Amino acid sequence: MLFRQGEPAAALYVVAAGRLKLVQEDSFGHQVVVRFVNPPQVVAAVAVTPGHRYPVTAVAVEEGGVVLWPAESLRELCRRFPALSLNATAQIAAHMEDMQQRFLELASERVEQRLARCLTRLARQVGRQVPEGILLDVPLSRQDLASMTGTTLYTVSRILSHWEGQGIVKAGRQKLVILRPHALVAVAEDLPEGGKP
């Protein structure tokens, strides 16, 4: 674990190798995967401004390494090189935009669309081309997918089973391969050729 949600934002990190999972936890202890971070992405840009706390918990999902700048050193660098501050602000703005998009999805889209968007987003973040299609190359449970899409484990299992029957995905234990990415995009965009359960 790199840092915990709610701790003072003491440093900014750049992933040098490996991969991180960012999760948020509610007051009941339920965790939601927010996103995965690959090299050379930045984590915890909130450390640029004083008084902020980490909004997520960062956990390594594989062996790797990070480069870090302590918050005080980082703020001094930002005073000397204002472009660093602008870049950190751009990172924070991009994450806010992503969260707003997800909120809109939860408020306005059918579960199938939300799950398809989630899988296409994960394909961009952690997807790896394999002979069958695109492997989501991280341990990912159906409960993780349910939490990420605001639905139940039962609903995710039902939709994935239906999509497996249509040859869109191949779902195993903590493993998922997107066999027909265009069909998944069609579901996400609510196009006629999408596979609706």
Residue-level pLDDT, tens digit, the chain, 197 residues = 999 999 999 999 999 999 999 999 988 888 899 999 999 999 999 999 899 999 999 999 999 999 999 999 999 999 999 999 999 999 999 999 999 998 999 889 999 999 999 999 999 999 999 999 999 989 899 999 999 999 999 999 999 999 999 999 999 888 999 999 999 999 999 887 654 55
Domains and CATH numbers, the chain: 11-107 (2.60.120.10), 110-188 (1.10.10.10)
Q: In this predicted model, what pLDDT tens digit does every residue of 59-104 receive, in sequence order?
A: 999 999 999 999 999 999 999 999 999 999 999 999 999 999 989 9
Cis status, amide bond into 40, omega within 30 of 0: yes
Give the number of residues written for the chain: 197
**Angle at alpha carbon of residue 72, lines to 68 and 78, rounded to 5°:** 85
In the three-class reduction of DSSP (H, G, I as helix; E, B as strand; rest coil), residue 94 is classed as helix
